[in-house]
Each structure stands twice: as structure tokens, then as C-alpha cells.
Amino acid sequence: MTVTPVHAPPPARSGFTAGEYITCLTGIVWREALRFLHQRERFVSALVRPLVWLFIFAAGFRQVLGISIIPPYETYILYEVYIAPGLMAMIQLFNGMQSSLSMVYDREMGNMRTLLVSPLPRGYLLFCKLLAGTAVSVLQVYAFLAIAWFWDITPPPMGYLTVLPALILAGLMLGALGMLISSGIKQLENFAGVMNFVIFPMFFASSALYPLWHVEEGSPWLAFLCEANPFTHAVELIRFALYGKLNWVSLAVVGGCTAVFMIGAILAYDPSRGFVRRGPGGEA
């Protein structure tokens, strides 16, 4: 069974006005915002997850650090301070995967078809969707930072501003990755697989929970794996930006990965490829 488009696409136009692009963007962002507002549990759970790590996990691991000064920090720090950027990236990782879940949901419910019949370029539509998801994750991160402030995680005031571009870029990268993965998921139920095979390995094999020099002491092989993990670079980009500094290597890796995942997602959602995959196995 192949899916035929609901509407025949209108005759191709050479270009669209900026107004039309903006209408599309606000439409998608607004829908994402509404969905976010109506799912309070999602917001709460997005906050509770990192806070549990911060309050419970970090309390037991206080002794892990405090013996060396790791850039961008200029003095000794407590473990809570160390893992805060990692938890910020974790929020974005989960959010990226969750919006990929919503893509699967949209596809099953047919909303996506409404979106994809838009005459605007496919890549632009996906980018808007990505931007909407990123905006939500940035909001979640700032809510987390506000609570963490009371837990003595107090980066310099300017850091709250300088971290914004890093959060947007990291959010785009993780969102694009989620989008790429979602193109291969046929059912909502498969999301558990994403947890096991994407979120957990990415989160644990990174610099989010322990500095890489610490990992290297235990296993150089694992340290190499962490170094190659784009999530590590998302964490480091955020960590440096939060203290008003720029990590060029991480910026290059995150920027490059964003481009690759984005192009991958656009290709995967190409009408001639992406939807054809929905074979008889998928139950709608």
C-alpha cells in the first residue's frame, strides 16, 4: 500500500515572500508551543529528570572532583557545578528525541501530511519544526538554570546570555539527530529502542558526568569513544559558553554534525523516499 498525496501540490513557484516564510515559521512554532503548554507533565518531567540527577546523583559523587582545575573553570568546583552543563545538554537530548517522537505521532495521526503539503521547501519546513523544538528545549534549560541557582550553581551573570547561542546550536543538532532517527521509526512503541540505543549511550559515553581525563584513567578506549561522541561536544560547547568562553573544537563538531544530521533528515523525509518505507508492517 502506497500513500498517495491528499492534495496535488500547487504549480511550483520560483520563490516565496519573506512574509510567507514567517507565517509558516510562526505556525509551526505556535503549534509546538501549544503542545508544550498543554502538556504540563512534559514540562515538569523535563525538569524533574535533571533535578533528580543534580540533587540525588551528584550528592553521592561529590568526591569525584575537587582535585584538579578543568577548563573553563578557573578554580576548584563541586561536582554539582561540573554536571550542570551536562544536565542542560541532557534536557536538550531528551527534548530532541521527544520531538522526534512527536514526528512519529504526527505521521501516525496524519498531521504531518497537512504540514508537508505546504508549498514551501521541504527543508525549510523541517528546519522550522527543528527550531520550534529547540525553542522549547531552551526554555526548559533556562527553567533548570533558575532552579539550579538556588543549589549554588551560579555562573557569571553574562554567562546566562552567552550560553544562548550554544544552546540553540546544540538544540538544533540534537533535534536534527532526533529527526533523522524518527524517519526510520515506524511505530510509537519503538521509542524505547531509541532510549536504549541512542539516549543512554550518548549520555553516559560523554563528558556530561565525568571529565574526560577521569575517563582516560579508567579506559583510554572509552575516552576515545567519548571524544568522538557529538554529545560530548554539545556539553563542552554549553559548558564553555556558560562561563563566557568559546570552545572552537566543540563549535566545529557541533556545527558540522548539525549540518550533516539536518541534510540527512531532509533526505530521509524526501517524499520519494521517506514515506515509501511505511510498508504493511506499520499499523496506523
Partner 1 sequence: MRKLRDQLPKRAPLAASLLAAALCLPPIAPASAFVAFVSNEKGNTVSVIDTDSWTVTKTIKVGQRPRGIAYTRDGKFVMVAVGDDDTIQVIDAKKLEIVDTLPSGPDPELFAQDAAGKTLYVANENDNTVTVLDLEKRIRIGDVQVGVEPEGMMLSPDGKILICTSETTNMAHFIDTATRKIVANVLVDARPRYAEFKSDGSELWVSAEIGGTVSIIDPAKREVTGKIKFAIPGLRSEAIQPVGISLTKDGKTGFVALGPANRVAVVDGTTHEVKKYLLVGQRVWHMEFTPDEKYLLATNGVSNDVSVIDVAAQKVIKTIQVGELPWGITIAQP
Binding site for partner 1 (CB under 8 A): 62-63, 66-67, 69, 74-78, 154, 156, 158, 244
String of b and e for 20-40 (b: at least 16 CB within 10 Å)?
A: eeeebbeebbebbeeebeeee
Min dist CB 72 to partner 1, Å, is 12
Min dist CB 158 to partner 1, Å, is 7
Which amino acid, residue 210? Y
Give the integer Cα–Cα distance in Å for 215 and 196.
21
| Nearest CB to partner 1, comparing residues 159 and 178 | 159
How crowded is residue 228: how many other Cβ atoms within 10 Å of its Cβ?
11
| Nearest CB to partner 1, comparing residues 64 and 117 | 64
Min dist CB 6 to partner 1, Å, is 36
Give the integer Cα–Cα distance in Å for 117 and 10.
9
| Nearest CB to partner 1, comparing residues 62 and 273 | 62
Min dist CB 78 to partner 1, Å, is 6
Write out the E strands in 227-276: none
SS3 content of the chain, % helix, strand, coil (to 5): 70, 0, 30
Min dist CB 238 to partner 1, Å, is 19
Give the integer Cα–Cα distance in Å for 96 and 123.
17
Alpha carbon 175 to its chain's center: 4
| Nearest CB to partner 1, comparing residues 14 and 75 | 75
- The C-alpha angle 217, 219, 220, rounded to 5 degrees, equals 90
| Nearest CB to partner 1, comparing residues 15 and 279 | 15
